[in-house]
């Protein structure tokens, strides 16, 4: 079974961005609780350089990783950026000094985040920004989105996407403007409900179905971590067949499941990054996919 090796973000716009269908998520790079400098700074910089050397040209970040740590590392490792690199950041959340996760989605908050991302990444326009919906927000969803689209008209953002959205929020946004991509939890084991970091995980299969209907790229998060704790599932069986690791088969499943999926596995380890990159070479059969279900 083959799969499409690239994906185009904003395919129906004047600024289509085509990237390899395997990105990298930077959230594992900072210290514990996604805060502070990496435990091994050299390895973190080497991971980012390796992504570039290995043809990965989609990076997921946020200024609330760190605070600002992943953006600074990206700039240090990769600036001046290659022309085909797409950096995707997220706004809608922030961090307290106590490392807590807060809601930051009022129009003025979003603007401050975008300015901060532009400054820390040292760029004049961010190619893709996901508005990250935070459960418990009191800001009307439309108000936040209007602010995003306004910053897009101003040229600070090239493409607007959504993250952690419900099916209803995604449908509502599609009536307001173009949704370049969606970043929700999705994965072999994450199609059903689960929790991680005590956070409410939303959307899942229903959101994926709306993306398929509307041809919207899906950038899944948390695709690996809960699957890797399960030692007895069908993934492990297929991994043995291909002499691969369960992480690789989870990624291969995503790549074969649907051509709209752009996986962004996160890792703080160079050997895991290299392993994940090799998953791109695995071709599962129709029978494997049917067996995995
Ligand atoms: N939009 C959102 O709300 C949101 C939320 C969370 C994350 N994200 C983004 O999505 C990206 C992916 O999510 P994630 O990093 O939380 O989770 P993930 O990709 O599902 O899994 C990361 C975990 O898997 C481990 N891992 C990775 N490759 C491995 C391998 N080959 N073998 C064994 N273990 C492996 C990592 O540990 P090691 O470090 O030891 O490799 C880490 O514990 C993040 O980096 C971030 O950019 C977005």
Chain Cα centroid distance, residue 153: 23
In a domain, 174, yes or no: yes
Q: And the tokens for 94? A: 């922030």
The verdict on whether 188 is a catalytic residue reads no
Write down the pLDDT at residue 240.
Answer: 95
Answer whether residue 263 shows pLDDT above 60: yes
Residue among 64, 65, 104, 257 flagged as catalytic: 65
> What is the mean predicted confidence (pLDDT) over 146-173?
96
Q: Where are the beta strands (DSSP E) in 121-167?
A: 126-132, 157-163
Domain with 91 in it: 6-292
**What is the helix (H) or strand (E) element at residue 58, kind and residue range?**
strand 58-60
Q: And the tokens for 134? A: 């935070």
Residues paired with 86 in a beta bridge: 58
Pocket of ligand 1 contains residue 159 by CB under 6 Å? no
CB atoms within 10 A of CB 37: 14
For ligand 1, atom 15, the nearest C-alpha belongs to 266
Write down the pLDDT at residue 201.
Answer: 57
In 3D, which of 57, 121, 117, 122 has the Cα closest to residue 93? 117
Q: What percent of the chain has pLDDT over 70?
A: 95
Q: And the tokens for 140? A: 């009307």
Handedness of CA 45, 46, 49, 51 (dihedral sign): negative
Task: Give the count of domains, the chain.
Answer: 1
Answer whether residue 154 shows pLDDT above 80: yes
In a domain, 124, yes or no: yes
CA–centroid distance, 225 to ligand 1, in Å, is 6
In 3D, which of 221, 207, 138 has the Cα closest to residue 179? 207
Q: What is the CATH classification number for the domain harbouring 127? A: 3.20.20.100
In 3D, which of 220, 208, 212, 207 has the Cα closest to residue 169? 207
In a domain, 1, yes or no: no
Write down the pLDDT at residue 40.
Answer: 97
Answer whether residue 107 shows pLDDT above 80: yes
- Burial label for 186, CB within 10 Å (0-12, 13-18, 19+), is buried
Write down the pLDDT at residue 232.
Answer: 67
In a domain, 227, yes or no: yes
CB 260 within 8 A of CB 211: yes
Write down the pLDDT at residue 51.
Answer: 98
In a domain, 215, yes or no: yes
């Amino acid at each position: 079974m083959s799969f499409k090796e690239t994906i185009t973000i904003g395919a129906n716009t004047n600024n289509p961005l085509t990237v390899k269908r395997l990105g990298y998520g930077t959230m594992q790079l900072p210290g514990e609780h996604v805060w502070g400098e990496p435990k091994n700074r050299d390895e973190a910089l080497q991971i980012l350089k390796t992504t570039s050397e290995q043809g990965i040209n989609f990076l997921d970040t946020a200024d609330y990783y760190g605070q600002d740590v992943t953006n600074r590392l990206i700039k240090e490792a990769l600036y001046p950026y290659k022309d085909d690199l797409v950096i995707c950041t997220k706004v809608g959340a922030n961090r307290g000094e106590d490392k807590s996760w807060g809601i930051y989605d009022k129009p003025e908050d979003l603007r401050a985040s975008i300015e901060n991302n532009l400054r820390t990444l040292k760029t004049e326009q961010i190619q893709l920004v996901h508005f990250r919906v935070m459960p418990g927000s009191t800001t009307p969803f439309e108000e936040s989105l209007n602010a995003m689209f306004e910053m897009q008209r101003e040229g600070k953002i090239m493409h607007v996407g959504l993250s952690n959205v419900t099916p209803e929020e995604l449908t509502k946004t599609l009536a307001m403007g173009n949704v370049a991509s969606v970043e929700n939890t999705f994965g072999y084991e994450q199609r059903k409900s689960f929790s991680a970091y005590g956070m409410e995980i939303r959307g899942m299969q229903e959101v994926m179905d709306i993306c398929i209907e509307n041809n919207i790229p899906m950038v899944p998060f948390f695709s690996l971590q809960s699957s890797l704790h399960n030692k007895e599932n069908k993934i492990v069986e297929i991994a043995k067949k291909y002499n691969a690791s369960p992480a690789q088969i989870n990624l291969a499943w995503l790549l074969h499941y649907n051509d709209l999926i752009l996986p962004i596995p996160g890792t703080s380890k160079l050997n895991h990054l290299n392993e994940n990159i090799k998953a791109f070479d695995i071709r599962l059969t129709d029978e494997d996919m049917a067996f995995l279900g």
